[in-house]
Amino acid sequence: MPQGLESNDFYWWLGHLISGFRIETIALVGGYVFSYQCNELARRTAFFPFVWKKFKRLIIPCFVFGAIYYFLFLFHASSFKWNVFFWRLANGVSHLWFLPMLFWCFLVGWLTDRLLHLLSLRKPSWCTPVSCILLLLFAALSLLRVTGLRMGLSRAPYFLFYFYLGYILRHLSQQRPQFHLSRGHIALLWTLYIVFLLLHLQATHLRLPGCSFLCPKWLQGCSQIALRLFTLGHTTCGILALYATVRHWLGLHRTPDAEPGVVLREASRLCYGVYVFHMFFLQWLLYYTSFPQWCSASLLGVWMLPWALLFVSLLFSTLCTSLLLKTSWGRFLIG
């Protein structure tokens, strides 16, 4: 929390209400697009060329932009050590931790795709059972909390499930393009999403902001595994509800052969760079300027602060990305 600001109950709830389909959904999209490339475009690359491709796409930008971020915001000459600096970059400085984690998801995704592709050619009847077993295996793996591993390996077990879930969802939508969940099923998913969220929040907070009742005794002292199961149910239901809602809307308003609009294509072109740059501006605004204190001087300013930060960081991140993509080096890094 920046100096001079206090917690806001509305934004506290808003942050938790969207928590089930934020960063996990981005991992899911990675698996979804990977499945599309493998199963519909038949773009299956040999292992080492695939590793090099993802290394250029994820690890090199992680080091380059991580080094810039480090020297702008974290560098202290008196305590600087090259080995510490290297591993900070390798693990992903600040928000860039997502890149090395996703690198490992893609490598595991390559192996699982090759396994399922081989089964589809030799033992087609085995594909569905093996797919389900892998889904359960990755779900169980996501309940673990691994620490101490470098280059994103500690976070990879948690996100592998969502990456693979995206892979399976795209594969199913290809095999059964006419399958859509009914409105009742979508409503049930959203209801379960809220239920799992409330279970997790009640189990981790004695009293929720804005509420007068205490946590029920039967939820107090829940085990870590129970809390992680709540999180798994919360995020999975949220992602599936969001996915089903979008597919339902597209089925009503778009034809199957409709092309994405200009705005969506441009957003796709710029989104990687916006992700890379946005935290530079948020970090600067929140901790190196008096902008938070200026906003906290009035009630309206406190309420407008998150939206102002969103607008400024999005605007300048988009501008930086657009300029960088005009260079060959920029297209190599985030193109």
pLDDT at 298: 83
Q: pLDDT at residue 180 above 80?
A: no
Per-residue pLDDT tens for 204-244? 887 788 777 777 777 777 788 888 999 999 999 999 999 99
Domain ranges of the chain: 8-179, 184-258, 261-335
Confidence of residue 290 (pLDDT cuts 50, 70, 90): confident
pLDDT at 334: 92
Backbone dihedral angles phi then psi of residue 214, each to the nearest 5 degrees: -90, 165
Give the DSSP per-residue string, 114-129. Answer: HHHHHHHHH-GGGHHH
Per-residue pLDDT tens for 5-19? 777 888 889 988 888
Mean pLDDT value of segment 269-282: 95
pLDDT at 207: 79
pLDDT at 284: 93
Q: Which two tokens stand for residue 326?
A: 């005009």
Amino acid at 74: L
Q: Return the higher-pLDDT residue of 52 and 335.
A: 52
Among candidates 248, 317, 325, which has minimal Cα distance to 284? 317
CA dihedral for 81, 82, 88, 91, sign (positive or negative): negative
Per-residue pLDDT tens for 77-120? 888 999 999 999 999 999 999 999 999 999 999 999 999 999 98
* pTM of the complete model: 0.91
Give CA–CA dist 171/128, Å, rounded. Answer: 11
pLDDT at 257: 78
H-assigned helices in 143-223 = 156-175, 183-204
Cβ–Cβ under 8 Å, residues 325 and 331: yes
Give CA–CA dist 52/328, Å, rounded. Answer: 19
Per-residue pLDDT tens for 154-179? 999 999 999 999 999 988 887 776 77
pLDDT at 30: 94
Confidence of residue 317 (pLDDT cuts 50, 70, 90): very high
Q: Which letter, b or e, does each residue of 212-245 get, where b requires 16 or more Cβ atoms within 10 Å of its Cβ?
A: eeebeeebeebeeeebbbbbbbbbbbbbbbbbbb
pLDDT at 253: 82
Burial of 165 (0-12, 13-18, 19+ CB in 10 A): buried
